[in-house]
Amino acid sequence: MSDTIFTKIINREIPADIVYEDEMCLAFKDVNPQAPVHLLIIPKQPIATINDIKASDREVVGHLFLTASNIAKDMGFDEEGYRVVMNCNEAAGQTVFHIHLHLLAGKPLGWPPYTDTLKV
């Protein structure tokens, strides 16, 4: 997998507003927020898409969700509610091919989460 903007953030080659870091992941503010709180939680291990997750990645992927929960508690919006989203591939909105959670909070989040009209 080639370097992505996330790899460059992990390596401190480009700046980011980092709110959390441990040995497995990094969380930072999205530069194009879709809610008052919009964080990206990324694994330090590069995995391009959900389709590329292997059984051996269970711990790191689970850790991303545990981190989201802990951040929500630490920031005080766990009881009010929040949304966690992971997109897979371009048609679903993935623009950086390094898996990541979007953690959104701070306003009512409607459903469906997209704005385009969907005809079924």
Kindly list the catalytic residues. Answer: 100
Q: How far apart are CA 72 and CA 37, in angstroms?
A: 10
Amino acid at 82: Y
Whether 28 and 40 have beta carbons less than 8 Å apart is answered as yes
Number of other CB atoms surrounding residue 108 within 10 Å: 7
Q: How far apart are CA 113 and CA 29, in angstroms?
A: 20
